[in-house]
Each structure stands twice: as structure tokens, then as C-alpha cells.
Amino acid sequence: MGRLRTITRRTFLIGSAAIVGGVAFGTYMAKRPIKNPLLSDLEEGEAAITPHIKIDATGITLITPRADKGQGAYSMQARLIAEELDIDPATATITPGMPGPAYYNGAVMEESTPFPAYEQGALAETVRKFMHVPAKLLAMQITGGSSTVPDGFVKLRMAGAIARETLKEAAAQQTGIARDQLNTENGAVLLPDGQRIAYTDLATAAANIEPVTDVDLRPKSAWKFLGKPTQRLDMSAKCTGTEQYGIDFKLEGMVHAAVRANPGIGAGVESYDATEAETMRGVQKVLPINNGVAVIADNTWRAWRAAEAIDIKWEPGPYPASTANIFTQIENVLDADEHRDHRQRDEGDVEKALKNGELFEATYKVPYLAHAPMEPMNATVLVTDEQCEIWTGTQIPLFVRDHAAKLTGLDKDNVLVYVQPMGGSFGHKLEDTHVLQAVEIAMAMKGTAVKLVWSREEDMTHDYLRPGAVAKGRGTVIDGKVATFDLSVAQSALLPDWFGRLMDMSIPGPDATITTGAWDQPFAIPNYRVTGYRAPTMVPISSWRSVGASGNGFFHDTLLDELILKASADPLAERIRLCLDDTSRKVLEKVGEMSNWDSPLMGPNKGRGVAFCLSFGVPTAIVTEVTNTEAGIKIDKVYAVVDVGDVLDPVNLEAQVFGGVIFGMAHAMNCETTFENYAAQQNNYHAFEGMRLYQVPDIEVVALSNAQKIRGIGEPGVPPAAPSLGNAIFAATGQRIRELPFNKQINFV
Amino acid sequence: MKVSHMEITVNDQTYSVDVEPEMPLLWVLRDELGITGPKYGCGIAQCGACTVHVNGYAVRSCQLAVGDLGSSKVSTIEGLGTPDSLHVVQESWIEHQVAQCGYCQSGQIMQAASLLSTNPNPSDDQIDAAMSGNLCRCGTYPRIKAAVKSAAKKLQGS
Ligand code: FES
Ligand code: FES
């Protein structure tokens, strides 16, 4: 009980800050109250109880500001609110609402602190909380970092509880019956005599009283929707073709646009000849835009065809022309002191220990990777003299608004961003180049709505990629144990690049993402060091499902596997022995039990690999079983164990782990983005295939609930997937593959 | 400039369109007729998001020039079933909570429906063969497999 109370009270402050504009509580640096984004579009007779719930005579609207990229965020947010508000979420309207600074996302910044997630000490907690401040200052309405659940778990339930109690208070004042004599049920206040007053009938009265903020959250045992298998609210629409994605959005009189921008991303156009394109059927206009050329036509296909017919001479790109040159620059900074970015882990005496006994050394490499969500980037924009309206799927609606305001010269308040359901993102929709292109085109078409859809080719050659990286691993073993583990990672810095691009702000200091997923692992090795080296900024890079851990999970766990085998220890037993965190150790033990680790695999040419990564606070262990067939590697079976604390939605959790494991393995199998003549070479799925259904193994998922803190599961399945596959391939073939994708050296069937 | 008036039948309704015969069916459906269930994913027959039925068989609508359609009948996910009256495959998809972002699912469902209409009791290998041309970047494959199997069971009436 004590624990629940502290958490509740602490987070309640955060919750109420968003509700009453109370960031001026004094705990934070931001003194300016954050404006309630709902008030501006409220009509008379409507009452805004909190920024997450809107009730009027016609019904209840739940505003779920964290974008849904397919991970089920809308359903989850709605359920968190509904649990306390006492309504059936299926009866409410659910909308991402208008972006507003009150929807700041505190949790997304939490894991950028210099403390590993397993370190729950007082200082770590303080700094982690402190990170809410810059998030708030920057008014970041971002969806990312698997933060929707941790950020909303208390905040959204609080919003629901405050709304419920305030509605009860309104009923109390109307009936003269004390609030504590009243109950609620399914969207209504229940009077002691069984009479019901619908929330919708109390909305106006509730608007005129002070919100009741002294509320308690319901204990887990009383949950109705949370912790149980439920159906996602968007499932029926998505299985009947009726879900309306950004690409399906339509306005009367809308025109269609296509663009071709310099594939040397960021460089301009030298000259172009659109003579042929201008005469093609349906083409209304060809115009130059920032770094490219746009076509406006009456149909998407016609616009694309005309865009292809333009003869364009590009300026050379602003980075090295080929992948070979790019990786030379990365290799050059590896282990070069003057390029050292940070060393957040340095235990024992690594230098000395490396000289003691036989030295193991290996180099690892991961490629640049596109996000390539199934729905290509698109945006529909209508610009008039007074305002700019934008319909697009985005994880960063506020940045989109600010950038469009700057571009159009309009006041921010006159830029309206309507977030559309997304056909995937994996981080691509943390960028807004395509939206700004659409705004630029719409400015030339004032009064006419413009829908811009990137062709798959435009999408995959203008992505902000998962950074390529190179790592050097060294180590020693003594008496059958890993004695020294030393990992150096070199890549370009990701966060400063992104902040600079989106916020026009330079972020000084180290970039933790260079070693995230490696420096912060819960192991105790006598001599243990992880160092990040910063390569220059080259091709544009950004967050890709699981961010830094996507590459570092592979580096860290593969090196660990190699050292354990060198020590002739058992891969699972030695990881368990080295593990210093209880929650993580139980995850490893569980995956051993599920996979019958100690029993021999049936059949020849079989191999089994285990891998572990702690990312976004979620310890995740995977065991993969493969067969080395004549034609190549067959992935037979995957066991995955995670610990997210309380599981709020077991069905969606399993789906997210399936998705994460497949995403991690698919790219490790056969995907990379390489550059030639400044341009990304893989421009469609034929060259970036991923996993197909026939290759998908049986996957078993177990979620433990030993962790103290509740966590999101959109990303943690990704990092250990690739190393578990690599370790299994080694077990089956004796071939250690240290560079991704694996298919450069081995086939898959 | 070639212009061609033609009549096409989609979901049992006849439309007259005035487009280049080489325009892919996908874009006629989406931009000319406003039928947006079929999705664009790749335009080169690699992903299957655009899958529709032509005379009952799964076809990549991004690859079929509308001028080649002749008198064939097109049906899209919208013609397969609606939220109030689901096709067996859609029912199974919802029971198994298959969709994540959902963008590929119109195509997956059309592909599965076509498979089951010709082979109501497919083996694992037959499911693999029929469904492997449809990409899902979200990784919903394990549930796709399960949903195809349970739809097959429903069709057998067991
Ligand atoms: S859009 Fe037709 S197969 Fe991809
Ligand atoms: S559900 Fe997102 S691509 Fe398949």
C-alpha cells in the first residue's frame, strides 16, 4: 500500500499539471502555465473536465494524444482512462485531438539519463524525474521510446478518476446527496435509490465546479478492462478496409502531388527540364521546391508518372558519396581518443586485465537501415491566407505545427494538425520533411487542398536511417569465466542531429544513443568497459524501432556470447551467473525453462542461441533454434521472455513481442541501406525484403511481472532478436557472423 | 494523348471511368472511384497490400492495367464483408486480433480468402506458399497463420 500511495501522489502532480495548466507548481523550471488545448475548440454547453476527456450532451470523447502507429496506443490510452472514468471504452469517441503543449511526454526522456534502467537508487530516480523538466520545456508531444504506457499509466487513470469524482460532485450538488454516497457505473452516476444520471447530463454542471483532485486510483484487483485480454478498438475497421489512414484522406476539390527530391539528402537542384511532364495528361503544374521538384496533377499515378518524366540534374550530396567512404569515416574514429564521446561504464581495471592472459579481439558491424513502414509518407495540406490545415500520420504533431508556421509565416495558432492513423512508422514519422514539402506545394495552390504521397522509391531513398555502426570487442577469460569485457562503438551522433533538425537547437554533451543497449546492461563482469566514439554527421539518421539498442544489442550480446564460449562455459548459465539484477535474472531463467535449454536439441545440424538485452527498462531474453539445411538456415523456434511489470493488455503485448522479434530478425537476415553516388541503393521491398511468412518461426512469449515499474513493449523485443539468431547460427554451423545482415555470408530458407 | 472510356465492375457495381488504359487498377480504385481498402505499398508486386479479387482470384491491383480488365469482375475488401456482416476470414482475423497498423491487412485478407475459396483446407506448406507474397512490416505473421487455419476450420463447419 505504501508504495502505491507514493507513486500515486507523485505522479498525480504531473497529472494535474496537465489538467489545470499547473506546471507552475514550482517544482519545475517552466513557470508559464501550459495552455489547455481543448478549451479553444469547446463550444458552449460543453465541459472540459481534463484534457483527456471531453463530455457533452451528445457523448463522451476520449482524447488519446500518443499517436497510434499500429502498436495499439489509442486502445490502450482509452482503456486507461475508461478504467477509472467507469465507461465502456467502446462506447466513447476516441480521437488523438489537437496537439497542444499540455500533452507533454515525460517518459520519453527518462531513459536518456546517465543511469541504467535497473539502477533504482535515489539519485537515479531524481535525475530520471528531472528529465521531465526539459521534456516539458520543449513541450514535446512525441510518441516514441516505448513510452506511451509508462507515461500514461498513472496520468490517464488519474484523469479518468478526477473526471469521475468531479461528475459525482456535480451530481451531489444537484441532488443534495453527499458525494461519498454516490457510485458510478457505465457512464452514469448512481444515486443510492438506484436512479442514474448520465455523465452527459452532468457535463455543464461539472464544468462550473472546481475539479475534485483528491482521488485514489483503483487497486489492480478492481480493474475491469486492464490486465485482461480485450479486443483492440480499431480491429474491426482494420480487418474490413474501413480504417482511414492518412493516405486515404480526401477533401473535395483536392489535387494530388508527387515530388522528386535530391537523393543526396539535403542537397539542391542544379537544373531541371519539365517540358515533357508539363504536357502529360492531368498535370496542372510543375514547380521547384526545397531540394527538388514537385508535380501537381489530378491523380496520384499521373503525378508520379510526370515526376519521373522530369529530367533533373542534382547537386552533389552533402556527405561521402558511397557506403565504403562512410564506413571509413566511422572506422577512423573507433578507439581514437580525440573522438571519444563518452564512457559510461568502466569497472575494474580493463587495461591491465586485457594484458593478463590470452586476448580475444573481434570487429562487428551493423548497416544503415530504412524504416520502410508499409504506408509511405504522405500529407494533405490546405493553406489559405488565414490558416494552414494539415492531415497526416505523425509522431510529432507539435513540431509539424511549428515548422509549418515558420514556413507559411502564419501564427502557430493558425496551423492545425489533424493526426491520422498510421500504417506503421518504426520511427519514420518522427520526421516531417514530407509534410513540409506538402505545405510548400499547398502554398503555391492557396485555397486548394494538396495531397502529397511519396512513391515507395521516394520514401526509401529519403529516409532518416538507423545509423550504421562499427564496434570493437576485446576480452579475456579466466577459469571458465568471463573476466574482461571491453566494447568500443563508433557511429554518428543521433539525438543532436534530430534535435538540431527538429528544434533548431544544439544539444551539447555526449550522445547516449551511441552506446545505449550496451553500457547499461545488468551484468557484473570484473573488468567491464563500454566506450562510445562519435563519427562525423554524414547521411541523415534518426530513431529506428529500439534506437541505439538496435545495433548495440547485437554488439554487446554477440561479444558476450563469444567470450562465454571461449571460457567453455554454458551460454545461458554464464549469463545468469553474471547477471546482477533479480528481475533480469528471472527472465533469463524463465527462457531457459521454456526452451528446455538443458536438454539436447533433436536432430542433426541444429543449433540454439540465447541473447539478452535490457532496453527501455524491459529485460528481454530470447532463445532461438535453427537448423542448418542444405539450402540454408531455417529458423525453427523462438522463445521470448520479457518483464514489463503489470501487463495491461496480454493480447497486445504478445503481438508487440511477435512484431519486435520479427522486426529484429528480419532486418538482421537480409536488410541494409547502402549508398552509391550519394543515393540510397535499396529503393523498394525487392531489395529490402525482411521476413516472409514461410520463414516465420513458431514464437512463444511469456511476460513476467516482477518489475516494479510498468513499461512499454513496442521496442524491447527488437534488440536481442539478431544476436539470438547469430548465436544460434554459430551453434549450428560453427560460423560466427559479426556483420549484419547475415545473408551476406549465409542463406536463409 | 490516349483517353479511354470504359466500364468496370467493382463490388457488383458498374462504374464508367475515363482514364488511360495503362493506369493500374489500384489507382483507378483509389483515386478515381474513392475505394481505398486496397492499399499502395510498393507498386512493383512485392508487398501484396493492393490485393483485390478479379473473377474471384487474388490479383495485385498495382500490376493490372485497367485496360486489360475487359469484362472481368473486381471485388475489393469492401466487397468481401463489412463490420456488420463479416466474411469468415475477417471474423477469424478479428478473433485472433491480427492487425497491428493494419495497413497490409486488406491485402492479407483478400489473399487468404482467395486461397480458401480454392482450397478450403490448406496444409501449412500451402498456406506458406499462398501467403508469402504479402509483406507485413509489423510482423503479424504468426497470427495470420493462426487466423487462416481457424478460418479454414470454420469453413469445414467444425
Ligand atoms: S502495391 Fe501492389 S504489390 Fe505492393
Ligand atoms: S499490420 Fe502493419 S504492415 Fe501488417
CA dihedral angle for residue A72, residue A73, residue A76, residue A82, rounded to 10 degrees: -130
Strand partners, A314: A269
- Do B66 and B18 share a domain, yes or no? yes
Chain A neighbors of B46, CB-CB under 8 A: 684-686, 689
**How far is the centre of ligand 1, averaged over its atoms, from the C-alpha of A603 (Å)?**
39
- Ligand 1 site, residue B137, Cβ cutoff 6 A: no
Q: Which domain holds residue B115?
A: 88-157
Q: What is the per-residue pLDDT across A96-136, written as a single tens digit (0 to 9) for each?
A: 766 555 555 555 555 555 556 665 554 455 445 445 445 54
Distance CA B5, CA B111 (A): 30
Could you tell me if A700 lies within 8 Å of chain B, comparing CB atoms? no
pLDDT at A481 over 70: yes
Ligand 1: atom nearest CA of B42 is 4
The pLDDT of residue A110: 56
In chain A, what percentage of residues exceed pLDDT 70? 86
Task: Give the residue from A230, A255, A374, A671 with the most B CB atoms within 10 Å of its CB, the best one to mutate.
Answer: A374
pLDDT at A559 over 50: yes
pLDDT at A740 over 70: yes
Residue B83, in any domain of the structure: no
Do A424 and B40 count as a contact with CB atoms less than 8 A apart?
A: no
Q: What is the per-residue pLDDT across A696-711, written as a single tens digit (0 to 9) for each?
A: 999 999 999 999 888 8
Which is nearest to A519 in space by CA: A383, A342, A743? A342
**How far is the centre of ligand 1, averaged over its atoms, from the C-alpha of A374 (Å)?**
10
Q: How confident is the model at residue A90 (pLDDT cuts 50, 70, 90)?
A: confident
| Residue-averaged pLDDT of chain A | 87
- Do B107 and B136 share a domain, yes or no? yes
The pLDDT of residue A98: 61
Could you tell me if B67 lies within 8 Å of chain A, comparing CB atoms? no
Q: Supply A454's cell numbers.
A: 511519396
Residue B118, in any domain of the structure: yes
Judged by CB atoms within 8 Å, which residues 451-470 of A form the interface with B? 453, 455-456
The pLDDT of residue A93: 86
The pLDDT of residue A497: 82
Backbone angles phi, psi at B94, to 5 degrees: -70, -40
Distances (CA, A) of A434 to A259, A490, A616: 9, 30, 29
- Do B73 and B9 share a domain, yes or no? yes
Give the largest CA-CA distance in chain A.
Answer: 83
- Ligand 1 site, residue B60, Cβ cutoff 6 A: yes
Residue B96, in any domain of the structure: yes
Q: What is the per-residue pLDDT across A67-76, written as a single tens digit (0 to 9) for each?
A: 777 778 888 8
Provide the shortest C-alpha distance from residue A102 to chain B (in Å): 26
Check if the beta carbon of residue A375 is closer than 8 Å to that of residue A393.
yes
Domain boundary at B28, B53, B77, which? B77
| CATH code where residue B124 lies | 1.10.150.120
Could you tell me if A231 lies within 8 Å of chain B, comparing CB atoms? yes
The pLDDT of residue A66: 73
Burial call A396-421: b when 16+ CB within 10 Å, e when fewer: bbbbbbbbbbebbebeeebbbbbbbb
Give the largest CA-CA distance in chain B.
Answer: 57
Which range among A1-15, A191-205, A578-592 has the greatest average pLDDT?
A578-592
The pLDDT of residue A1: 26
- Do B120 and B141 share a domain, yes or no? yes
Could you tell me if B126 lies within 8 Å of chain A, comparing CB atoms? no
Q: Supply A63's cell numbers.
A: 482524447
Residue B135, in any domain of the structure: yes
**Overall number of domains in chain B:** 2
Q: Is B20 helix (H, G, I), strand (E, B) or coil?
A: coil
Q: Is A108 helix (H, G, I), strand (E, B) or coil?
A: helix
Query: Lowest mean pLDDT: which of A61-65, A517-521, A578-582?
Result: A61-65
Q: At what angle do helices A148-175 and A73-85 cross, to 10 degrees?
A: 30
Residue B23, in any domain of the structure: yes
Distances (CA, A) of A383 to A155, A260, A284, A405, A416: 35, 21, 18, 11, 10
Ligand nearest the Cα of residue A234 is 2
* Residue found by looking up cell 472514468 in the block: A85
Distance CA A6, CA A641 (A): 29
Query: Looking at chain A, which residue has its C-alpha nearest residue B40?
Result: A375
- Do B13 and B32 share a domain, yes or no? yes
- Do B45 and B102 share a domain, yes or no? no
Ligand 2: atom nearest CA of A373 is 3
The pLDDT of residue A16: 25
Residue B52, in any domain of the structure: yes
Residue B21, in any domain of the structure: yes
Chain B neighbors of A423, CB-CB under 8 A: 39, 101-104
Which is nearest to A340 in space by CA: A533, A114, A535? A533
- Ligand 1 site, residue B42, Cβ cutoff 6 A: yes
Q: How confident is the model at residue A397 (pLDDT cuts 50, 70, 90)?
A: confident
Q: How confident is the model at residue B158 (pLDDT cuts 50, 70, 90)?
A: low
Strands A93-95 and A59-63: parallel
The pLDDT of residue A21: 23
**Chains A and B: how many Cβ contacts under 8 Å?**
189
Strand partners, A261: A292
- Do B69 and B97 share a domain, yes or no? no
Could you tell me if B127 lies within 8 Å of chain A, comparing CB atoms? yes
Q: How confident is the model at residue A390 (pLDDT cuts 50, 70, 90)?
A: very high
Q: At what angle do helices A721-733 and A549-566 cross, to 10 degrees?
A: 30
Which is nearest to B124 in space by CA: A239, A660, A695, A659? A695
- Do B73 and B121 share a domain, yes or no? no
Could you tell me if B151 lies within 8 Å of chain A, comparing CB atoms? no
pLDDT at A28 over 70: no
Strand partners, A368: A673
Domain boundary at B77, B109, B129, which? B77
Q: What is the per-residue pLDDT across B13-54, written as a single tens digit (0 to 9) for each?
A: 999 999 999 999 999 999 999 999 999 999 999 999 999 999
**Average pLDDT of the residues in A204-233:** 85
Burial call A581-607: b when 16+ CB within 10 Å, e when fewer: bebbbbbbbbbbebbebeeebeeeebb
The pLDDT of residue A448: 98
Q: How confident is the model at residue A509 (pLDDT cuts 50, 70, 90)?
A: confident
- Do B66 and B104 share a domain, yes or no? no
- Do B72 and B108 share a domain, yes or no? no
Which is nearest to A356 in space by CA: A487, A524, A483, A531? A483
Distance CA A474, CA A25 (A): 50
Query: Looking at chain B, which residue has its C-alpha nearest residue A658?
Result: B139
Q: CB A1: neighbour CB atoms within 10 A? A: 5
| CATH code where residue B56 lies | 3.10.20.30
Do A240 and B78 count as a contact with CB atoms less than 8 A apart?
A: yes
- Do B45 and B17 share a domain, yes or no? yes
**How far is the centre of ligand 2, averaged over its atoms, from the C-alpha of A591 (Å)?**
27
Residue B36, in any domain of the structure: yes
Nearest to B47 among A236, A299, A685 (CB): A685
Nearest to A239 among B32, B49, B93 (CB): B93
Task: Give the residue from A75, A240, A247 with the most B CB atoms within 10 Å of its CB, the best one to mutate.
Answer: A240
Backbone angles phi, psi at A447, to 5 degrees: 90, -15
Higher pLDDT, A663 or A122: A663
Nearest to B27 among A244, A300, A663 (CB): A300
Q: How many CA atoms lie within 13 A of A606 on its CB side?
A: 11
Distance CA B102, CA B118 (A): 25
Q: What is the per-residue pLDDT across A242-294, written as a single tens digit (0 to 9) for each?
A: 999 999 999 999 999 999 999 999 999 999 999 999 999 999 999 999 999 99
Higher pLDDT, A64 or A735: A735
Domain boundary at B48, B77, B106, which? B77
pLDDT at A37 over 60: no
- Do B45 and B68 share a domain, yes or no? yes
